[in-house]
A and B are shown apart, each in its own frame.
Chain A
């Protein structure tokens, strides 16, 4: 998974704003989305889920499901690429 080269982002409070200058579209991710964004290029979904379940004290299965949804969403919004 790679963040698209044109995409810019800025952390704000617990979340993160991600901006696609190609489409001038802005997206906001919550605190768990922020972890996904930070890890997406270096960790597998399972490893990201582990970080989230430890940080937020939720079970691994739920965290993994959330990570999956978040990643598909990022792909659909053309913010990351599956390589």
Chain B
């Protein structure tokens, strides 16, 4: 049975579409501010709407959140409301004063993106971006933040994962996020960077070895792969429609940052109402039931369709136009 929660547990707010980089993989294809971006005077309203959901985890991202002049105020309002937000940054907007303000208001967690070592990272994110991100990361570590590294695994970097982990472990990183590349936005023109199913399985196993060698915590945006490998008892499949919502820079609400179907706009409808009443979400929740899955999921060769639910729905939708189809990178 699909259990529907009263409100989502995870909220992502893309606080701006503006970005100083033009990463080749960016699912948002971020460039400039959205013409109808949630402005400073509306921000408190959005924060309150998010807090009404009583989320367990709030991620402030973008675009580049540190380009938003009121980002410290936004983070502070979350903290005042009892929610401790994480910020995700490309690390190339180096602003010590802003980082220290974040520290003083009580922000603990900042994630900096590194898509491999310098050559791979700069090939994706632009020349000089690795060095800038590293300077930011070191400053955050030295100033006592719980700094994380987030990495999108692609053909350019996955074989370096052991060295990469060791390098950041030695810098003092205890948490490394490893994200599967979802080729939407600018990523659509760079699909060849995707790993295939066998590489993903190899990677997952490698990460488990690295996790026990370094005691580093990996968090992966690939719930269904963990189910497939049967390694984690608690692993569940894709969370679309079940646990998360994402607010775009203009207030549009999506089921997940990678799933491009607009459920409503938070300027007009509360997040709680969207979560509980959106006809699209209701349809999604129907379509992810194991008996509604199509293609090879019908007779899942792994016998795990109740938990896997067909893998990443955003990828299935991107490639086939239907969330009932299997993830194109299904591991068998």
Using a CB–CB cutoff of 8 Å, the interface residues on chain A facing chain B are: 6, 8-10, 12, 17, 19, 21-27, 77
User: Is the CB–CB distance between A27 and B234 below 8 Å?
Assistant: yes
User: Is the CB–CB distance between A23 and B57 below 8 Å?
Assistant: no
User: Is the CB–CB distance between B234 and A25 below 8 Å?
Assistant: yes
User: Is the CB–CB distance between B219 and A8 below 8 Å?
Assistant: no
CA distance A27 to B56 in the complex (A): 12
Number of CB contacts from chain A to chain B under 8 A: 40
Q: Which residues of B contact A26 (CB under 8 A)?
A: 9, 56, 234, 236, 243
User: Is the CB–CB distance between A24 and B177 below 8 Å?
Assistant: yes
Least Cβ distance of B33 to chain A in Å?
29
**Which residue from chain A places its CB closest to the CB of B146 in the assembled complex?**
A6
**Is there a chain A Cβ closer than 8 Å to B86's Cβ?**
yes
**Which residue from chain B places its CB closest to the CB of A9 in the assembled complex?**
B56
Using a CB–CB cutoff of 8 Å, the interface residues on chain B facing chain A are: 5-6, 9, 54-57, 86, 109, 146, 174-175, 177, 217-221, 232, 234, 236, 243
CA distance A6 to B84 in the complex (A): 10
Contact of B57 among A12, A19, A27, A77 (CB under 8 A): A19
Least Cβ distance of B144 to chain A in Å?
14
User: Is the CB–CB distance between A8 and B218 below 8 Å?
Assistant: no
Least Cβ distance of A64 to chain B in Å?
23
User: Is the CB–CB distance between A22 and B54 below 8 Å?
Assistant: no
CA distance A77 to B175 in the complex (A): 16
Q: Known pairs A21-B57, A26-B56; list 19 more (Cβ under 8 Å).
A: A6-B146, A9-B56, A10-B54, A12-B6, A17-B5, A19-B9, A21-B86, A21-B109, A22-B217, A23-B218, A23-B219, A24-B219, A24-B221, A25-B232, A26-B9, A26-B234, A26-B236, A26-B243, A77-B234
Q: Which residues of B contact A9 (CB under 8 A)?
A: 56
User: Is the CB–CB distance between A22 and B56 below 8 Å?
Assistant: no
CA distance A18 to B146 in the complex (A): 20
**Which residue from chain B places its CB closest to the CB of A15 in the assembled complex?**
B3
Q: Which residues of A contact B243 (CB under 8 A)?
A: 26
Least Cβ distance of A80 to chain B in Å?
15
Least Cβ distance of B159 to chain A in Å?
24
Least Cβ distance of A25 to chain B in Å?
6
Quick one: given A9-B56, A10-B9, A17-B9, are A23 and B236 in contact (CB under 8 Å)? no
CA distance A19 to B56 in the complex (A): 7
Q: Which residues of A contact B221 (CB under 8 A)?
A: 24
CA distance A6 to B56 in the complex (A): 11
Q: Which residues of B contact A24 (CB under 8 A)?
A: 177, 219-221
CA distance A23 to B109 in the complex (A): 13
CA distance A19 to B10 in the complex (A): 10
Q: Which residues of B contact A77 (CB under 8 A)?
A: 234
Least Cβ distance of B263 to chain A in Å?
21
CA distance A45 to B217 in the complex (A): 29
CA distance A25 to B174 in the complex (A): 15
CA distance A77 to B233 in the complex (A): 10
Q: Which residues of A contact B109 (CB under 8 A)?
A: 21
CA distance A20 to B152 in the complex (A): 21
Least Cβ distance of A55 to chain B in Å?
23
User: Is the CB–CB distance between A22 and B9 below 8 Å?
Assistant: no
Instruction: Rank and list the top 5 A-B pairs by shortest CB-CB distance, nearest first.
Output: A24-B219, A19-B56, A8-B56, A22-B217, A23-B217
